[in-house]
Amino acid sequence: MVRERGYGEDKRGQVITMKENLSRFFEPNSVAVIGASATRGKPGQGVVRNILDNGYGGKSYLVNPKGGKILGMPVHSSISNLPEGIDQAIILLPAKLTVQAVRECVAKGIKTFVLAAGGFSEVNREGEKLQRELIDIIAETGIRVIGPNTSGHISTPHNFTSSFYPLGKIPRGNISYINQTGNLATHTMRYITTGENFSVARVVGLGNRVDIDESEVLEYYAEDSETKAIFMYLESFKNPRRFMKIASEVTRFKPVIFLKGGSTTAGAQAAVAHTGALASDERIVDGFLKQAGVTRIYKYSHLFLAAKALSCMPLPKGNRVSFLAPSGAMLVVLSDLCRQRWGLEIPAIEEATLQHLQEMSPPFIRIRNPVDIWPAVSIHGVENGYREAIEALMKDPNVDAVVPILMLADETGVPPLDFLVDLAHSYPEKLLYVTFSAEKKHMETAKAFLEPRGVPTFPLIEEPFEVISILNRCRKAMERSD
């Protein structure tokens, strides 16, 4: 487990831990918004709205040369009018004005900064010069900086965000993100909280990483009791050796799931334009991540689909799956994919389980794993058929995860789905992931019912198996003996 590492000393010579070093970002008692705006839709108003919507309990100070009020809050006309010692400054000014604003904030005793502006090293030589000035200020003063070129960060345990995107109230969760992109603190986060029914503990958009980088945030999350699992998107590593050292330790007790951008020539060129990142050789990256115990993913959607599953259920205890489908074609295709692509086993189920399922089915059906469920459903009804079969499989010691494919349509019946919630709660050591077929409106209704009650759902039938495969790799990484 990551311990309270020393990360420097304060004025009294006492060791400062990683958690203490970043606490002003995640638990600020006061914040200044430099570039606050009275114009709806501008970033300077978006930050203020998010601070208010999330019920931030600290003191907020707004700065705009026009003064007056914004959203009912008084506005200071200059940084020099601010009180001393504010914990954090969020600066939403153009790149050319950001550097001077940082200097003025430092003079007021502010020590942590979130710098939103783009226009630094990712664009041109003038931007590179501005970024070097920022780096010099950091070296001279010891301030801490997220960004520049960031959409901000989120800390739901403290009811706080520096994001300027309209997020509304962000529910408190147990998943944390580290990203070189900003969209996990903006539009993707809006989708997660409205479309996937789970939420986050912390999110950091690193941007150009003039100071704080992925390794430092990873170490903070390791010590963070609010964080159950860590998801990352990076285009390059700022300090690969340090990342390897920290990740190798963190991944023994917390899952770390990683999406790498810039793995092709086109992607690498986009990464340079995005954050000025230089991509690494893919073979080296793959080996590097495996050695560190980090689980690599290759789809952007898995950043939130796997997170949704982990937010409410444990890692699988193994790779043995059973699934129930209303279609023989689904049984065949998914069986092939489980074995050929996802590294999942479809085990033989115990004789008692087999006999129970056979008794539920017409005599012309030969039951095995996976289960052709529709003949049993046609006799016992959708609710009773699925419930009896799922419970038999959940009880089976040869099965680690059960995936029912529910066929929901007006004509065939749409039962109350409480039984799935009950089964998930009755067998908490097993995974129960639900996917669907048939009528779209009923799939959406089922998702809206099940997910807030702790049962993850997936609209496409391959997705739950992909997620089980990812999380099984996490488990194996955490259990490694090297």
Distance of CA 324 to the CA centre of its chain: 29
E strand residue ranges, 65-180: 69-70, 73-76, 88-91, 112-115, 144-146, 153-155, 160-161, 172-179
Amino acid at 149: N
Across the 482 residues of the chain, what is the mean pLDDT of every consecutive 10-residue run?
A: 41 46 94 97 97 98 97 98 97 96 97 94 87 96 95 97 97 97 91 94 96 97 97 94 96 97 61 50 88 96 98 97 96 97 98 96 92 94 96 98 96 94 98 96 96 97 98 97 80
If asked whether residues 289 and 338 sit together in one domain, one would say: no
Do 236 and 90 fall into the same domain? yes
* Residue 271: per-residue pLDDT: 46
129, 216: one domain: yes
Asked if 396 and 350 touch (Cβ cutoff 8 Å), the reply is yes
As a whole number of Å, the CA-based R_g of the chain is 25
DSSP character at residue 448: H
320 and 306 housed in the same domain = no
User: What is the pLDDT at residue 336?
Assistant: 98
Whether residue 365 sits in one domain with residue 218: no
Q: Are residues 170 and 86 in the same domain?
A: yes
Are residues 244 and 190 located together in one domain of the fold? yes
Query: How confident is the model over 135-162, as pLDDT tens digits?
Result: 999 999 999 999 999 999 999 999 999 9
pLDDT the model gives residue 183 = 87
Q: Are residues 145 and 76 in the same domain?
A: yes
Same domain, 184 and 110: yes
Residues 177, 204: contact at Cβ < 8 Å? yes
Give pLDDT, residue 142: 94
Host domain of residue 356: 314-478
Omega of the bond leading into 370 within 30 degrees of 0 (cis): yes
Q: Which amino acid is at 68?
A: G
Determine phi and psi for 54, rounding to 5 degrees.
Answer: -90, 0
How open is the CA angle 298-301-306, to the nearest 5 degrees? 90
**Do 298 and 360 fall into the same domain?**
no
Q: Is 54 helix (H, G, I), strand (E, B) or coil?
A: coil
Q: Answer whether the bond into residue 148 is a cis peptide, omega within 30°.
A: yes
Report if residue 409 sits inside a domain.
yes
Question: Which of residues 310, 344, 360 is at a domain's end?
Answer: 310
Residues 200 and 340 in one domain: no
pLDDT at 123: 80
Q: Which of 251, 275, 310 is the last residue of a domain?
A: 310
Question: How many domains is the chain built from?
Answer: 2
Q: Is residue 438 part of a domain?
A: yes
Residue 400 within any structural domain of the chain: yes
What is the pTM (predicted TM-score) of this model?
0.92
Amino acid at 66: K
Residue 1 covered by a domain = no
Last residue in a domain, options 250, 285, 310: 310
How far, in Å, CA of 349 to CA of 363, rounded?
Answer: 19
Q: What is the pLDDT of residue 40?
A: 95
Residues 111, 112, 114, CA angle at the centre, nearest 5°? Answer: 145
Tell whether 355 and 461 lie within a shared domain: yes
Residue 272: give its domain's CATH number.
3.40.50.261
For 203-239, b where at least 16 C-beta lie within 10 A, e where not — what string? bbbbbbbbbbbbbbbbbbbbbbebbbbbbbbbbbbbe
